[in-house]
Structure 1
Amino acid sequence: MVRFIKIANLLVFSIIGGILGKAVGDWYLAIPAVARLLGPSDQHRLVTSVGFILLGIIVTIYLSNLVTRQLMVLGEAVEEFSTTQKLEVLLGVMLGAVFATILVLPWPLHPTIKLCLWLLLGLAFAYLGARLFLSMKEDIFLFWPSAGAVAKAQAQAIGGGKEHSRERIKILDTNVIIDGRIADICRTGFIEGPIYVPGCVLEELHHIADSAEPLKRARGRRGLDILNQLQKDLKLLVRTYDHLPVDSNGEVDHRLVQYAKQLQAAIITNDFNLNKVAELEGITVLNVNELANALKPVVLPGEEMSVTLIREGKEINQGVAYLEDGTMVVVEGGRRRIGETLDVTVTSVLQTVAGKMIFAEVRSQNGEEEGASNVRGSGSGGWQRRKGR
């Protein structure tokens, strides 16, 4: 396709260059001084005309290479444009062509020269018009009532800022709503700015809530309850920007990415796949799971804590306990102490994709394992950090 465009441009520009060269040659030969110099010889006139034609072809071929490169760059960029940006490019091209027409028509030139000059100037001004409108898109939004402009104006009215207003919009996905932790996070004030729930997310929640499977139905109803709670506390933007042009037949995650692109918004999720796709698209992602991992208390080797062993470990003589935040604690020498609450000393901390894993050993006195005085009876779990000796 690219090669075809290059060949087509080369052919078109060569024809235009030949026509312009022939027209300029005829105009040159019509000058009285040149006519007297060349005399009545047709051979001299033919050579002069051919020379001008070749000169026109050479010049336009050089211009064709420059224009083709710029058109290729612009074409690749246009493929990534939103609908609003494509309309801006179209408007810029149309105004550029109109400006070239107004500029060329009044000139008293030969019709052939005028046509070729209009084609060249029209192409140049169309390109400049497209670049100009793209560079002025933020200002055009103020008076061009397109869908993207309306969304931006609404976001600015809510956010109160010009540069970062749309960036402050947060889009909730289905999984993070069902998870439920987002409600507590929002109540603490860590999430600022307007929170947008697209209609596709709401429809997916309704579909899950109507499922025949009891577990899925309970999850869907929980998500709807979380939304109602957030609506009362934060006044959510429900379906506010659903008029934006997105692929209505695409999956929910795909539509969320499109909304985020057009609104320059961030997506709040705990979905690993959506997180990766959005990051590849250059969208800011706020992952609730990453926030939970970041808020887990820092445990250093040598620190002491109290944990309740609940099951055996994979290796010999290991016991497993869990902290209140779900962090696994592997205790060496704890296999025979299942169900007991022991004082342990942290030996190492391993960071994995799923979170942190703590390795510890039963706290000893004078180099020996502590006896029954360390046993505190079976409990519900949890731990208490202690100062090292």
Structure 2
Amino acid sequence: MMTSIRRPAVLWSLLLGLGGLPLGCATARPQAVVPPVAVPAPVSTPLEAREADAVFTGHRFQDGTVLPEVRIHYATLGTPRRDASGAVTNAVLMLHWTGANGAVLRGQPFQDALFAPGRPLDATKYFLIFPDSVGHGRSSKPSDGARTKFPAYGYRDMVEFQHQLVTGTLGITRLHAIVGLSMGGMNAWQWSELYPDAVEGVMPIVSLPTRIAGRNLLWRRFVSGQVRGDPEWKDGFYTAPPRGWLEAFPVFRMMLDGVPHLQATLPDAAAADAFIATARAQAAGMDANDILYALESSRDYDPEGALDAIQARVFALNFSDDEFNPVSLRTLETLMPRVKRGRFVVQEGSASSFGHFTQAHPELWADQVGAFLKFLEER
């Protein structure tokens, strides 16, 4: 069951910059390298976002808990277009990364690079949906008051709420596309397997279609251990940010960045100390329980076994300087041939890109979104 409460909001698009970097491509079948394209700067256009809360009852979380109600906050940009039967044909679901929210994906960099007139996901052409995943943003989360009494949700819970929002609240039976970043990319992989008839194409960015393991698992366990093992955490009922969280976040933040970028921007001890101080200040503004739950929610993610059954078109994008998803593992080269209608690109990193966190700089990969949308049109 669901009720909806609407809140208006206005977002603004500013002038565009240039397109993406030169691309290093690897696909299930050979493709040419796509050169960068300079994009003319259009006149600034206001983009109006409509925000609302969908409230669901009766959801049983992966840990068996049932809450009286779960709030999923979301926003939309653009207008639904319908075919002769009344079905929406232009809906695109935008899924954020761990610790972020839908508002981040509606920020100026994303509007300029993706949603402004003439850009790949032009909001005058597409109906864009931005949910705050459970545990994040203005959706139900531990810091609302339950703290460690909040259900130990998993990625499956996130995707189930997203699906209820799209199909139940918004009445959309089939998405044109999903674009997901990091955690959102993993959610996109799950969508393509759990709801094969509900989406035409998915674009997972900086994520891999296999369980969390190796370096990616180690840093998650390190951060979780630093929080849970800190006496100041007090089983989640702390009164100030636990010291373990403040100490762990600089490592968290370092892993987000690219090795070439850090090498170029941290030339000495003073620069490194400033990086650590800035990271600690950022950590002090976050809720440790929210981050802890978000990191541990990846425990149920493992789409590898069902890759052969995916019906949607898949266009996976990773970056060569992403230390969370090391290209040396050749995971995409190994697994993508199992996806019947799949392609992937590993975009070359540099001192001016940001490793895993290149995801937050869409001006560096917007052209790849355009390539994904063209891929969806192929017959």
Same fold (TM over 0.5): no
TM-score calculated relative to the size of structure 1 = 0.24
Answer with 1 or 2: which has the greater Rg.
1
More helix by share: 1
The one of the two structures with greater contact order (alpha-carbon pairs below 8 A, sep at least 6) is: 2
